[in-house]
Copies of this chain bind each other. A is one copy, B any other.
């Protein structure tokens, strides 16, 4: 089924292995990969068969190979799935996508809301996107990006007769770092987290805390060829077949830190403000009792003196 024309560039899965004479390491599968963005994927509209369109584009550049990972932007998935709403309803859409407000800040357009959305993702505007969308509209994230990834995976695997992984990526900001990076918000057939705990480091000591966010790193890599305005919403990553799994797997949710245990589950200002309120309430009773007693003592002393003067008819001083 693979087309004849221009092949995607060679990655790790080359038939003959090259060896480095100096070190004796195989310079093959695990030490190189290629990321390429096929051309020919035009504007996507609601109802489009994304798997067919992506498959056609891949076919024209040599098809897929076993172990390839296809990364597709959430934007084209959303467009194909008709997740378009009128721009006038943007604020309402953000509210509806929001599970929990994490932080807010005034912005030129109103209030920037960083929220946890229904996918568990902490994102500005809940991931509702107003760039690269038809005029007058905004895009919601796919209803279930893992399901979208699974469907695309199944269709591409069948068309090309190979085992591939699929990642749906989206762009997000980060705490502590400037600039946006792409993240995996939908995953099928890719080891999203590579848990190296129990392995050993190069000194034979157990690696105790190293769990690598493979799918996020693949999504980030794919952004470098897709760019933002280039109209290339798909990237093929070749040479990372060791991260491609037989099963679809648990999806992108494993990449979401449980908000209950997240040390940054809430903006600093928001947490502080909640603390101030709580502090005012919890301290209040003791402070009130103490101040009232002190005030009563002062009032009693002065009231007594004044009452006594009035009672004895002593003329007021002053």
Interface of A toward B, CB cutoff 8 Å:
5-6, 8-11, 18-25, 27, 30-40, 43, 57, 60-61, 103, 105, 114, 121-122, 131-135, 171, 174-183, 192-194, 196, 199-203, 205, 207-214, 216-218, 220-221, 223-225, 227-232, 240, 254-257, 262-284, 287-314
Contact = CB atoms under 8 A, between A and B. Distances in A.
A121 to B, nearest CB: 8
A225 B31 contact: yes
Contacts of A31: 36-39, 225, 232
Contacts of A283: 276, 279-280, 283-284, 287
Question: A-side binding surface: helix, strand, loop or mixed?
Answer: mixed
A279 to B, nearest CB: 2
Given A176-B264, A264-B268, 13 more contacts: A5-B21, A9-B11, A11-B34, A31-B37, A32-B35, A179-B211, A212-B223, A217-B224, A267-B268, A275-B279, A283-B287, A291-B295, A311-B313
B33 A179 contact: no
Nearest to A107: B209
Contacts of A289: 291
Contact of A212 (B21, B180, B207): B180
Contacts of A211: 178-180
B213 A217 contact: no
Contacts of A309: 307, 311
B20 A256 contact: no
A271 B256 CA distance: 23
A218 B304 CA distance: 80
B216 A181 contact: yes
Contacts of A232: 31
B229 A223 contact: no
A107 to B, nearest CB: 10
19 contacts: A6-B19, A22-B57, A30-B230, A34-B34, A35-B221, A121-B176, A177-B183, A177-B216, A178-B211, A178-B257, A181-B212, A196-B228, A266-B271, A287-B287, A288-B291, A295-B298, A296-B299, A300-B303, A303-B307
A216 to B, nearest CB: 6
B179 A213 contact: yes
